[in-house]
Amino acid sequence: SEEGTVCSICIDAPELNTPELYSGRLSMVATTSNLSTIPIIDFQPFLLGDDRAQRQVARQLYQACHEIGFMYVQQIGIDRDLVAAAFHQSHRFFALPLAAKQALAYPDAFSNRGYAGMERERLDPNQPGDLKETFNLGLDGAESPDATNPALTQNCWPPGDEEFRNTLVSLFTACTEAANQILQAFALALNLPLSFLVDRHRKQEHTLRLLHYPPLQQPPKPGQTRAGAHSDYGSMTLLFQDQVGGLEVQTTQGDWIAAPAIPDTVLVNTGNIMQRWSNDVFRSTRHRVAVPTCDRRHLSRYAIAFFCQPDHDAEVSCIPECQGPNNPAKYPPILAGDYLVSLLQATY
């Protein structure tokens, strides 16, 4: 489907059953329903710090992460003008001559910084390369808490373009701060100390990605899409997108539903790392960017994704609160960095 209409969005996120409270934490009571729409969650009550309001937000996040793995988040603290400026810089960058962009190409999956051209990435390994181009950046240079690892700290900036650099560094910082707030809410939802997840993301080894899906000048190859069906690799993703549409999310019933841009929201989804940590309590959901079947195939589509990734030396093992005698750990422990590199090597 294409962008769809807002009627496909659940404006008032359904509540979980009333939680049992103990030791100041939340014990989530499972529900039998499955979300088939993407809820919209107002995050401001969590930011205001009221205990009761934070628990209400945590309940809503829990249900969204458990049942569909996606949610639209309002009032997360990211300036809309900053996001608009970042989209402007993205338009400028992708309008550069191909040779100028290729000069910034990253050499291997481990670096994960710089430009990747059309069909370079194959998110669905069983299909042709994706019809998109990307530019990745991370925490810059000596600002990184792990500056001794140069492969993790070298960005490939366009020479002499300080406006591009400053805008994207500002957005990276804003997304990092927002992600830390959401990680605290996730921790509350999973009966963990508020700092549990934030403490495992201290080195800010996140990736900010600019995405451009050029107009389609010819029919795609069989099975080819703008972005193949996949689940994200890290803890969670913050996604900003334009109005062209095409993003689709797979429900637990196997249906694909549209996930259009909604003004003044950030689309948030949980990734593979969070699914492993939570023993499948939080879902890492497959999604894709379909090839438009109407006039929009002749339009460019732009998006900006912030991939929240744990420290490379953080062990990802099943959270004790998410396992028990009748629900053993489903995944062996693994270092977050090793897991990420293995998936990137399979993608490129």
What residue type is 280 in one-letter code? D
More confident residue, 315 or 17: 315
pLDDT category, 195, cuts 50, 70, 90?
A: very high
What pLDDT score does 147 carry? 52
Mean pLDDT of the chain: 85
- Nearest-5° Cα angle at 302, 300 to 307: 150
Whole-number Å distance between alpha carbons of 193 and 119 = 42
Distances in whole angstroms, Cα of residue 166 to Cα of each of 106, 144, 197: 20, 16, 28
pLDDT at residue 163 tops 90: yes
What pLDDT score does 27 carry? 40
Stretch 320-343: mean pLDDT, rounded?
A: 88
pLDDT category, 125, cuts 50, 70, 90?
A: confident
Residues 220-243 pLDDT 10s: 888 888 888 888 999 999 999 999
Stretch 319-324: mean pLDDT, rounded?
A: 90
pLDDT category, 109, cuts 50, 70, 90?
A: low
More confident residue, 70 or 324: 70
Residues 146-157 pLDDT 10s: 555 544 568 999
Give the tokens for residue 233. 């690799």
Total residue count of the chain as it appears in this document: 348
Whole-number Å distance between alpha carbons of 172 and 170 = 5
Contact between 206 and 179 under an 8 Å Cβ cutoff? The reply is yes
Burial of 219: CB neighbours in 10 Å, binned 0-12, 13-18, 19+: exposed
CA quadruple 153, 157, 160, 163: dihedral positive or negative? negative
Contact between 163 and 89 under an 8 Å Cβ cutoff? The reply is yes
DSSP track, 64-86: HHHHTSEEEEE--S--HHHHHHH
Cβ-count burial 176-208 (b if 16+ within 10 Å, e if not) = bebbbbbbbbbbbbbbbeeebbbebbebbbbbb
More confident residue, 262 or 7: 262
